[in-house]
């Protein structure tokens, strides 16, 4: 069971006053956050401006090295990397993944062909609870809590507390 947090409030008038104060605090925090974000952006812009020549030079070196490696890719057939005095260069394989051969093969077509050629060896069938149907039947009354419990499940409605500030009422004060 969830514990009830301590409170100093004894009436809805006090809750309303607290909402007003909460709104004022949120407004101050939003302004300070906006100011902080503006300062951060100015620092990033200054950094980018100050390092533009270095960034361009870095990109040029990387492009030159990449071009050279592509031209000499056959040097990496036996060994995928070369250790040089000032670093290592080479080609690395990524994690293998299955992709469609071309645009003419969509997921449905690929599944049909895989089933036809290899039966179900490369096709997975996932069996799972139809939660949408359960929730629909529960909402319409066809399913009760007892019936849901009979197959080892329960319906959780998840209650969430709501605190919303009426910003228009704060502008009038």
> Which segment of 5-14, 42-51, 78-87, 115-124 scores lowest on mean pLDDT?
115-124
Q: Where are the domains of the chain?
A: 98-155
The helix (H) or strand (E) run that includes residue 83 is strand 81-84
pLDDT in tens, 30-88: 999 999 999 999 999 999 999 999 999 999 999 999 999 999 999 988 899 999 999 99
Q: What is the mean pLDDT of residues 159-166?
A: 86
Average confidence (pLDDT) over 5-29:
94
3-state secondary structure of 89: strand
Within its chain, how far is the Cα of 18 from the centroid?
Answer: 34
Question: Residue 139 in 3-state DSSP?
Answer: helix
The C-alpha R_g of the chain, in whole angstroms, comes to 31
Look-up of token digits 């990524």: 94
Task: Collapse the DSSP code of 142 into the 3-class scheme (helix H, G, I; strand E, B; otherwise coil) and give the result.
Answer: coil
Q: With residue 58 as reference, give the H or E element that holds it.
A: helix 52-71
């Amino acid at each position: 069971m969830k514990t009830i947090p301590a409170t100093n409030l004894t009436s809805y008038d006090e809750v309303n006053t607290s909402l007003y104060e909460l709104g004022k605090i949120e407004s101050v925090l939003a302004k300070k956050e906006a100011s902080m974000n503006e300062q951060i952006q100015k620092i990033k812009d200054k950094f980018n401006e100050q390092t533009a020549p270095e960034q361009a030079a870095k990109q040029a070196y990387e492009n030159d090295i990449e071009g050279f490696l592509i031209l000499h890719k056959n040097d990496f057939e036996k060994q995928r990397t070369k250790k040089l005095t000032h670093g290592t260069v080479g080609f690395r394989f990524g994690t293998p993944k299955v992709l469609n051969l071309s645009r003419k093969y969509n997921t449905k077509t690929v599944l049909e062909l895989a089933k036809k050629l290899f039966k179900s060896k490369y096709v997975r069938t996932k069996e799972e609870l139809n939660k949408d149907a359960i929730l629909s039947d529960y909402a319409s009354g066809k399913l009760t809590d007892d019936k849901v419990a009979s197959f080892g499940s329960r319906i959780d409605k998840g209650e969430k507390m709501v605190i919303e500030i009426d910003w228009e009422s704060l502008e009038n004060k």
